[in-house]
Structure 1
Amino acid sequence: MVTNPLDYVEPLAKAGASGFTFHIEVAKEYWQELVDRIKTRGMRPGVALKPGTPVEEVYSLVEGENPVELVLVMTVEPGFGGQKFMPDMMDKVRLLRKKYPSLDIEVDGGLGPSTIDMAASAGANCIVAGSSVFGAAEPAQVISILRKSVEVAQ
């Protein structure tokens, strides 16, 4: 999470990024300009929600004339790895999936073999996993478990 995402669009595009997800909490005043700039640079725009932000905050970004293509529901507070998954964030995922059946819905924070089924069954189809993969004795096995859960839920 950065405080001025506009400053990062150009450098990330030059570095070859294919997507750019920003936090709604820091871009409320200029999100449309940000989405336009992201798309102009050939990247896929996404918006992230911290746990305390109501899901309704992103509706206008998904329904806008030039919409975001992904909503990331944070299942921990942004800032550091290894935090505990917040299952109550799955309500946001379920609401988004019901309202936008074809939207890419990503979850980030505390995802691993013990929490993936909850996220996938709520409607998440994109998963961010850090500690559970990089801290595993067999990272490929964990990735396989995560992937299979999402595929089965769809």
Structure 2
Amino acid sequence: MNKIIPAILATDISDLELKVAQIPDEVKLVHIDILEKDIYTDIDIDFEAHIMTKEPDKFASLWVERGAKGVIVHKLSENILHLKNRTKLGLGIEFNVPLEEMLPSIAKVDFIHLMSITQMGEQGHPFESGIFDRIKKVREKFPQVEISVDGGINTDNYQKLLDLGVNKLVVGSGFKKLWNSLTKK
């Protein structure tokens, strides 16, 4: 179960607190989507921060200082690469970005975070089945890299993702349904 990570997209601090409070006790890590608005408050669970801002350098450092166990960015810079000394660094790759453009950067990070939806920053978008081929391509070139997949994951597709060697499934709006289907048997 530690492969299924709930994604939290909060509108403000009270929304973040409410969503964290709804996470099952068995969950040990949450994924917080960070947009332009700062929504930080102390939370009583380990978290990774998915930085989807115009200034990833500024926000990535800030969330590392706040205790993020991992930080995901979509653009690497020297400032961000230095964060590897303090936390796990992930490279986010949007679904519509050609993998070939990102391959040179994969060796510089601790893990990659493949988006399986076409629009980031919102939950509830449909799963793009083309992600299966993208995972295979990454595995061919980087057999040992940790892969997380984010977006549209549900009871119909999660097992195939795991079978392809995905290490973490980041699930937003479908988390409760998927979690319950796996734990309430």
After TM superposition, the score normalised by the length of structure 2 is 0.65
Counterparts in 2 of 1:59 and 1:34: CA distance versus 1, 3 Å: farther
Counterpart contact for 1:35–1:68, Cα < 8 Å: no
Deviations 1:66-98 (CA, angstroms, capped at 9, x unpaired): x10111110012121111100012111111112
Give 2:180's aligned residue.
Answer: 141
The within-5 A match list for 1:76-91 is: 76=117, 77-91=119-133
Give 1:75's aligned residue.
Answer: 116
Give 2:96's aligned residue.
Answer: 52
Structure 1 position 20 matched with structure 2 position 71: yes
Deviations 1:108-131 (CA, angstroms, capped at 9, x unpaired): 001111111222223312110111
Percent identity over the alignment is 23
For structure 2, the 5+ residue unaligned runs are: 1-51
Offset at residue 61 of structure 1 (A): 1.3
SS of the equivalent of 2:53 reads coil
Whole-angstrom CA distance in 2 between matches of 1:143 and 1:2: 33
Specify which of 49, 69, 84 is matched with residue 39 of structure 1: 84
Larger RCO, structure (CA 8 Å, separation 6 or more): 2
Counterpart contact for 1:106–1:124, Cα < 8 Å: yes
Which amino acid is 1:95 matched to? Answer: K
Whole-angstrom CA distance in 2 between matches of 1:105 and 1:19: 13
Give the structure with the higher percent helix: 1
Give the structure with the higher percent strand: 2
Residues paired across the two proteins, number: 132
For structure 1, the 5+ residue unaligned runs are: 146-154
Give 1:150's aligned residue.
Answer: none
